[in-house]
């Protein structure tokens, strides 16, 4: 068997890119390399539309799979065995591979699926499958062929230089490699939704920065640590994240003191957007991203979203807008943010929660209330007081 562990990584949507394909593939290779940066001696190479990862034998498979499958742009990954591109080697390696596999898994039935990427290879795919299948039957005791419902499928990929035998195709998240589609600023709370929103935009290739608002000392240091932990989890998918942290308390106090109680949340949200827009512009982010979802809470009715949007010129992306909460929660489980998101720490939005929030706000009401505040100064003071935390992937 091979002296190194080898993995075949398949590109998803990247493969469909026309003349831009080499660019997307190059970025994807860089992202895969980065995901393996602390695995010594790992190499990553692109060849004929596939990416080949090699590590030494001591590196656990699970470790490589876990990292690479989180890279956006990766459709699937397979630990594989490499051999010479001739039937003799293919048969020999297939039998060795199956015998080794059977020790742990004891399948009773199998089938071979073969693919001939090298069309100059003299034997056609169905014939390759037949020949290797016969060798496996002969070389592996107690194993039978079942072409309809096999317990184990052995893939044989015959290529020009070398060929590959593998069994698993572990699904990646697909999408496009981060770095191929601009930069956005996520309004990142400690809740369930905004980490999922960040994930979804990064999955389309967007580089992510984040802004988090707190109301210290009403919100605790633990609440902020929770947010940093969430950003760290997200950074496994989207790479390093610059997190801007802003204390919203001075603004909240002004609002509570000067404006109608039922508008508090909406007015606070309008400030969140304004501050985010300024931070976005200072950091070359071209859009804002939120975890808002139509009708989920009082501040996310259609009318509420309209008066929230009015405060900014940058486009606001709301990737969760039409999803059901239950589906968002499923995604949060899948991307491993859920358990952290539900830790019971305070959020700045809950600090001055009105008893009966306005659900059908009108613009003029907001403008009227804000006329009692020095909006510009409050925003620029907040931006100036922002602290930055660099979260490394």
Residue 166 or residue 338: which is nearer to Mg ion going by CB?
A: 338
Q: Which does 201 bind (CB under 5 to 8 A by kind): ligand ATP, Mg ion, none?
A: none
Residue 187 contacts which entry, ligand ATP, Mg ion, none (Cβ below 5-8 A, type-dependent): ligand ATP
DSSP for residue 352:
T
| Site of interaction with Mg ion (CB under 5 A) | 189, 191
Query: Least distance (Å) from ligand ATP to the CB of residue 323?
Result: 12
How many other CB atoms are there within 10 angstroms of residue 19's CB atom?
6
CB of 362 to Mg ion, least distance (A): 24
Smallest distance from the beta carbon of 175 to ligand ATP, in angstroms?
Answer: 20
Least Cβ distance, residue 191 to Mg ion (angstroms): 3
Q: Which is nearer to ligand ATP, 187 or 331 (CB)?
A: 187
Binding site for ligand ATP (CB under 6 A): 187-189, 191-194, 211-213, 272, 290-292, 296-297, 299-300, 347-349
Whole-number Å distance between alpha carbons of 380 and 385: 9
- Cβ 269 to ligand ATP, closest distance in Å? 7
Structure tokens at 364: 């003029």
- The DSSP call for residue 176 is B
Helix (H, G, I), strand (E, B) or coil at 229: helix
Tell me the CA distances in angstroms from 330 to 96, 198, 228, one per residue in order.
40, 15, 21
Would you say 290 or 369 has its CB closer to ligand ATP? 290
- Asked, as a colleague might, if the bond just before 217 is cis with ω within 30 of 0, I would say yes
CA distance 392 to 228: 11
Nearer to Mg ion, 43 or 350 (CB): 350
Give the count of beta carbons closer than 10 Å to the beta carbon of residue 75. Answer: 18
For the CB of residue 272, give the shortest distance to ligand ATP in the complex, in Å: 6
Q: Which does 80 bind (CB under 5 to 8 A by kind): Mg ion, ligand ATP, none?
A: none
In the bound state with ligand ATP, the residue whose beta carbon lies nearer, of 297 and 306, is 297
d(CA 284, CA 239): 17
Q: Report what 212 binds from Mg ion, ligand ATP, none; CB cut-off 5-8 Å by kind.
A: ligand ATP
Q: Binds 299, which of ligand ATP, Mg ion, none (CB < 5 to 8 A, cut-off by type)?
A: ligand ATP
Q: Closest residue (Cβ) to ligand ATP?
A: 191
Q: Is the dihedral of CA 124, 130, 134, 135 positive or negative?
A: positive
Q: What angle do CA 198, 226, 269 make, to 5 degrees?
A: 55
CB of residue 57 vs ligand ATP: minimum separation in angstroms? 43
Of 65 and 289, CB closest to Mg ion: 289
DSSP 23-55: HHHHHHHHHHHHHTTTSTT-EEEEETTEEEEEE
- Name the residue nearer to ligand ATP (CB basis): 75 or 273: 273
The residue among 54 and 183 lying less far from ligand ATP, judged by its C-beta, is 183
- Please, what is the minimum distance in Å from the beta carbon of residue 235 to Mg ion? 20
The rounded distance, in Å, linking the Cα atoms of 22 and 368 is: 54
Contact partner at residue 291 from ligand ATP, Mg ion, none, CB < 5 to 8 Å by partner kind: ligand ATP
Q: Which residues of 187-219 are buried (b: 16+ CB within 10 A; e: fewer)?
A: bbbbbbbbbbbbbbbbbbbbbbbbbbbbbeeeb
User: Cα–Cα distance between 330 and 332 in angstroms, integer?
Assistant: 5
């Amino acid at each position: 068997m091979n002296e190194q562990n080898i993995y075949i990584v398949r590109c998803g949507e990247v493969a469909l890119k026309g003349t831009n394909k080499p660019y997307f593939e190059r970025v994807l290779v860089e992202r895969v390399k980065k995901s393996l940066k602390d695995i010594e001696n790992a190499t990553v190479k692109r060849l004929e539309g596939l990416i080949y990862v090699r590590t030494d034998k001591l590196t656990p498979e699970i470790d490589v799979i876990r990292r690479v499958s989180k890279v956006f742009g990766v459709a699937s990954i397979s630990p594989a065995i490499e051999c010479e591109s001739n039937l003799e080697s293919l048969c020999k390696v297939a039998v060795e591979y199956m015998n080794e596999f059977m020790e742990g898994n004891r399948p009773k039935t199998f089938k071979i699926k073969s693919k001939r990427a090298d069309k100059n290879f003299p034997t056609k795919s169905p014939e390759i499958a037949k020949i290797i299948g016969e060798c496996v039957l002969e070389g592996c005791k107690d194993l039978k062929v079942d072409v309809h419902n096999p317990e184990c499928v052995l893939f044989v990929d015959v290529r020009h230089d070398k060929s590959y035998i593998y069994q698993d195709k572990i699904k990646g998240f697909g999408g496009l490699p981060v770095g191929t589609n601009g930069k956005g600023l996520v309004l990142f709370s400690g809740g369930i939704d905004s980490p999922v929103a960040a994930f979804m935009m990064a999955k389309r290739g967007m580089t992510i920065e984040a802004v988090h608002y707190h109301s210290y000392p009403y919100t605790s240091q633990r609440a902020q640590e929770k947010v940093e932990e969430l950003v760290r989890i997200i950074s496994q998918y989207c790479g390093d994240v610059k997190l801007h942290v802003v204390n919203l308390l001075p603004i909240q106090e002004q609002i509570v003191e000067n404006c109608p109680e039922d508008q508090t949340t909406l007015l606070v949200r309008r400030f969140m957007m304004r501050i985010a827009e300024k931070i976005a512009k200072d950091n070359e982010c071209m859009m804002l991203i939120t975890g808002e979802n139509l009708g989920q809470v009082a501040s996310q009715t259609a009318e509420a979203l309209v008066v929230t949007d009015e405060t900014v010129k940058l486009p606001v992306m709301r990737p969760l807008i039409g999803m059901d909460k239950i589906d968002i929660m499923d995604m949060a489980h899948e991307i491993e943010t859920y358990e952290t998101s539900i830790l019971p720490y305070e959020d700045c939005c809950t600090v001055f929660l009105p008893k009966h929030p306005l659900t059908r706000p009108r613009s003029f009401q907001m403008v009227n209330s804000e006329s009692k505040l020095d909006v510009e100064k409050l925003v620029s003071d907040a931006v100036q007081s922002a602290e930055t935390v660099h979260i490394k992937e």
